[in-house]
Chain A
Amino acid sequence: MLQGRQSWVFVKQPVIISTAVVGGPFEGAGALAQDFDILYEDIWLGQASFEKAEKKMLEDACEKAIQKAGLNKEDVHFFLSGDLMNQIISSSFAARTLGIPYLGLFGACSTSMAGLSLAAFLINAGGAGYVLSAVSSHNSAVNKQYRYPTEYGAQNPPTAQWTVTGAGAALVAANGNGPRVTGATIGRIVDLGISDPFNMGAAMAPAAVDTIKAHFRDFNVDAAHYDLIATGDLGKVGHHIAGDLLQEQGIDIPPDKFTDCGLLIYKKDQPVMAGGSGCACSAVVTYGHLLNRMRRGELKRILVVATGALLSPLSYQQKESIPCIAHAVVMEREGD
């Protein structure tokens, strides 16, 4: 199970038997609209607050994933979930609705792969038959908490990123049809002293590189082993920095194999500054777009490296730098 210094190999190859992806209007107008299961036209989702709207999206993603697998809530043993709200309320409140035994996770935008790797670990170890792993984020709720409420009208610099409004859920099982989770690398905190929450991509890039390097070392592989390596939400600025850092460290990933979920999700003409971000960014792109490509046979083996900036509004106000992390998960097409 333990592979090298900080990785797991899942010999029983847990299966992602279903995924579900929910998005808002901005995502519906984006580049990957066809990969969403549910798209809402109203960012409020008919709810009284943005936080309630986020919880609703998370519930929808979870229920849809369970339904697509032909299961009931009662069949799912554990629910692993996280989000960006204080005290991860979206996840805990969705867990209240679902009634599935629940562990809340916080890894900021790295939570998607933290959850998926733990779900695979639980299944692989025989600790569960079905584990549901999910995350959510809501642009307006996140802006309110971490930056400024949108109606305040503060300017965003070009390095800022656009938080994805959406939720993604993956149902992992011991047997079944679907992409396999075969390995994971758990990241360590990397903090190079960036304290600007409007430049998260630059802050997170070194963490992504650290985890990719650790992954290649632990599994004794290189980029050629994968059809695609996708970071979570580095955006334009961070993706560029990560590319440079990888090169400096002698790790060669061809540009056509190296991408970022934050760069894939929106169209070029959408006003998203440096790209997408948020817990839902890597989740909706991976569980929707990338796994759909894998199901179609376009991708056989991918590495998703979800990146997270572990700051709080308080730590930022107290001028702390931003500790960053990245977790990597290997997904493979079945039968290959």
Chain B
Amino acid sequence: MEKYLIAFVVGGTICVIGQILLDVFRLTPAHMTVALVVTGAVLGGLGLYEPLVKFAGAGASVPISSFGNSLVKGALFEAKTTGLVGVLTGIFEVTSAGISSAIIFGFLASLLFKPKG
């Protein structure tokens, strides 16, 4: 039960930060999303995001900031094994499933549904 509560509080806090960026700092939705991704990437690079995931589980791995962390994780892993070029080849390694499914399922949904305005 405690696990759920921690996930809820941490995940909720990240969402609150996003909402504050929208409402108080007047960021556009795209800027807000990018800000969270970049923050996740920086924290990942500093080795701070993984401990957060361990602590909060889905509360840290589901929000979009986790995507930034995954980008950096892939790049760092490939860089270690194949050298500097690995930064380029590894960046989408962990996230490729997420990106591909976003494109494919987005496409399928657009075939099946019509915007209601």
Q: Which residues of A contact B (CB under 8 A)?
A: 43-44, 50, 139-140, 143, 148-152, 154-155, 157, 165, 196
Contacts and interface: CB of A to CB of B under 8 A. Distances in A.
A44 B115 CA distance: 10
A221 B117 CA distance: 44
A319 to B, nearest CB: 11
A50 B117 contact: yes
Interface stretch (B21-29, B52-60, B69-77): B21-29
Given A155-B22, A157-B23, A148 B117 contact: no
A257 B40 CA distance: 55
A133 B29 CA distance: 38
A142 B101 CA distance: 30
Given A149-B115, A196-B26, 6 more contacts: A140-B117, A148-B29, A150-B116, A150-B117, A151-B115, A155-B29
Contacts of A150: 115-117
A150 B114 CA distance: 11
13 contacts: A43-B117, A50-B117, A140-B115, A143-B117, A148-B29, A149-B115, A150-B115, A150-B116, A151-B115, A154-B29, A155-B22, A165-B117, A196-B26
Contacts of B115: 140, 149-151
Interface residues of B, number: 8
A36 B117 CA distance: 21
A143 B115 CA distance: 13
Nearest to B29: A154
Contacts of A143: 117
Contacts of A152: 29
B116 A43 contact: yes
A149 B29 CA distance: 12
Contacts of B117: 43, 50, 139-140, 143, 150, 165
A57 to B, nearest CB: 13
A208 to B, nearest CB: 25
User: Which 7 A-B pairs have CB atoms at the shortest separation, nearest pair first?
Assistant: A140-B117, A151-B115, A43-B117, A154-B29, A150-B117, A150-B115, A139-B117
A50 B29 CA distance: 23
Interface string B100-117: 000000000000001111
Contacts of B116: 43, 150
Contacts of A196: 26
A140 B26 CA distance: 23
Contacts of A148: 29
A154 B23 CA distance: 12
Nearest to B115: A151
B19 to A, nearest CB: 8
A154 B26 CA distance: 13
Interface in B37-68: none
Interface string B11-27: 00000000000110010
A140 B117 CA distance: 5
A38 to B, nearest CB: 18
A196 B115 CA distance: 26
Contacts of B22: 155
User: Counting chain A CB atoms within 10 Å of each CB, which of B23, B29, B114, B117 scores highest?
Assistant: B117
User: Counting chain B CB atoms within 10 Å of each CB, which of A143, A151, A157 scores highest?
Assistant: A151
B26 to A, nearest CB: 7
Contacts of A44: 114
A43 B114 CA distance: 11
B105 to A, nearest CB: 14
A123 to B, nearest CB: 37
A124 B115 CA distance: 46
A36 to B, nearest CB: 18
B41 to A, nearest CB: 23
A239 to B, nearest CB: 23
Nearest to A24: B117
B64 to A, nearest CB: 14
Contacts of A149: 115
A44 B22 CA distance: 31
A150 B116 CA distance: 8
A148 B29 CA distance: 10
